[in-house]
Amino acid sequence: MAETNTKRPIFSQEETSYELKVPYLKKLFRFLLPYRKWLFLTIIFMFIATVADLVSPYLLKKAVDDFIPKKDFKGILAIGVLLVLTLFINKECSKNKIKLANRTGQMVLFDIRKALFDHVQSLSFSYFDRNSTGRIIVRIVNDVNTLNNLFTNGIVNVITDMSSLVLATVIMFSIHPKLAAVTFTVVPLFLAILFATRNAIKKNWRKVRRKIANLNAYIHENISGIRVIQAFVRQKVNKAIFKDVIDDVFVSWMKAIKINNLFGPFVEICSMIGTLIIYWYGVKLLKINGVTVGTLIAFVSYLDRFWRPVVTLSNFYNQLLVASSSSERIFEVLSIEPEIKEDENPVDLSTFKDTIEFKNVWFSYKDENYVLKDISFKVKKGQMIALVGATGSGKTTIVNLLARFYDPQKGSILIDGIDLRKISFRSLRKLIGIVQQEPFLFSGTILDNILYGRPNASLDEAVEVCKFLGAHEFISQLEDGYYTQVNERGTRLSTGQKQLICLARLLLQNPEILILDEATSALDTQSELMVQSALNKVMKNRTSIVIAHRLSTIRDADLIIVLDKGQIVEMGTHDSLVSKKGVYYELCTSQIRFVKAG
The four Cα atoms 557, 558, 559, 560 give a dihedral, to 10 degrees, of 10
| Residue 415 identity | I
Residue range(s) of every CATH 3.40.50.300 domain in the chain: 355-597
**CA torsion through residues 169, 171, 177, 178, sign:** negative
pLDDT at 509: 85
pLDDT at 420: 92
CATH of domain 22-334: 1.20.1560.10
Is the pTM for the entire model greater than 0.75? no
CA neighbor of 380 nearest in space, from 506, 535, 545, 518: 545
> What is the distance between the alpha carbons of residues 365 and 124, in angstroms, rounded to a whole number?
12
pLDDT at 520: 65
> What is the distance between the alpha carbons of residues 444 and 48, in angstroms, rounded to a whole number?
50
- Residue 414 phi/psi, 5° resolution? -120, 140
pLDDT, averaged in runs of 10, over the chain (598 residues):
45 48 75 88 88 87 84 86 92 89 88 90 83 74 79 77 84 82 79 72 72 76 80 84 88 81 73 78 68 81 79 70 74 85 89 91 86 92 89 88 91 93 90 83 88 89 88 88 81 81 86 82 64 76 84 83 91 90 85 65
CA neighbor of 285 nearest in space, from 179, 180, 183, 186: 179
The four Cα atoms 355, 360, 366, 368 give a dihedral, to 10 degrees, of 180
Residue range(s) of every CATH 1.20.1560.10 domain in the chain: 22-334
What is the architecture, at CATH level 2, of domain 355-597? 3-Layer(aba) Sandwich (3.40)
